[in-house]
Amino acid sequence: MVIELYELVGRDDRRFSPYCWRTRMGLEHKGLDYKTIPVRFTDKDLIAFSGQGRIPVIKDGEMVVSDSWAIAEYLEQTYGDRPALFGGETGHGLAQFLNVWADRSLHSALIRLVIADILDHLDEADRDYFAESRTEWFGKPPREIQTRSEEDLKAFRQVVSMIRAALGDRQFLSGAAPAYGDYIVFGAFGWARSISDFPLLSEDDDVYAWRARMMDLFDGMAGKAVGYDV
């Protein structure tokens, strides 16, 4: 059976949700058959069957799961005979920590650098919704947030330094092979790449090399997605 992944989409088929990237990589890792159903912010009716308004949502037969973390847990439990996303209970706990860290630290630092770029790459239908909802969240409009001030750049460099330190000389954050922890962190870069040409990493950075390895996975799936090669 083919799993349906309801995935956020912008103009020109840009897949810019970090959470959807986590799920997409998780499905690939498990080697599951899936198809994506593009959803714009204002297409909430398409995911109404999930009983909530956020993406990603998956539909696996009769089973409907929303929230990328809950989806990863569902896939791990349901498809336990496939390659592990977490690598046991210990890995599960550590991945959950990373999930919270990425949501609260990595994403908060990144959004300030690319929020106006998101606006510029949305489908026309979504622009007002995004500008208004984010202005309400942040207390000012996207173009006033995305100034790329020295303070904001420093905050982002700080989170990248944590990724670099955690990576050490390994190929992936999870070790010699990638696992869900890598997909959590990669989600942020998959998001940025799809809508922003701002160079977040320098080419001599180990995190840059890691990101390139992530984009090569699964027959170059992430690298082939519509986006900027920076």
Ligand X SMILES: N[C@@H](CCC(=O)N[C@@H](CS)C(=O)NCC(=O)O)C(=O)O
Binding site residues, ligand X, CB under 6 A? 8, 17, 19, 41, 53-56, 67-69, 133
CB nearer to ligand X: give 133 or 161: 133
In the DSSP assignment, the letter for residue 84 is: P
| Closest to 185 in 3D by CA, of 9, 25, 8, 15 | 25
* Cα dist from 45 to 51, 52, 53, 89, whole Å: 10, 10, 9, 36
User: Rounded to the nearest whole angstrom, what is the least distance from the CB of residue 110 to ligand X in the complex?
Assistant: 12
CA distance 74 to 91: 15
User: Rounded to the nearest whole angstrom, what is the least distance from the CB of residue 207 to ligand X in the complex?
Assistant: 22
CB nearer to ligand X: give 22 or 30: 22
Asked if residue 18 has a cis previous peptide bond (ω within 30° of 0), the answer is no
CB nearer to ligand X: give 142 or 208: 142
Radius of gyration of the chain (CA): 17
User: Rounded to the nearest whole angstrom, what is the least distance from the CB of residue 130 to ligand X in the complex?
Assistant: 8
CB nearer to ligand X: give 71 or 207: 71
User: Rounded to the nearest whole angstrom, what is the least distance from the CB of residue 168 to ligand X in the complex?
Assistant: 27
CB nearer to ligand X: give 70 or 177: 70
Work out the angle between the directed axes of helices 18-30 and 68-78 (0-180°, nearest 10): 10
> Is the CB of residue 134 less than 8 Å from the CB of residue 115?
yes
> Is the CB of residue 116 less than 8 Å from the CB of residue 146?
yes
- Burial class (CB within 10 angstroms; exposed 0-12, middle 13-18, buried 19+) of 148: middle
CB nearer to ligand X: give 179 or 208: 179
User: Rounded to the nearest whole angstrom, what is the least distance from the CB of residue 129 to ligand X in the complex?
Assistant: 7
User: Rounded to the nearest whole angstrom, what is the least distance from the CB of residue 171 to ligand X in the complex?
Assistant: 26
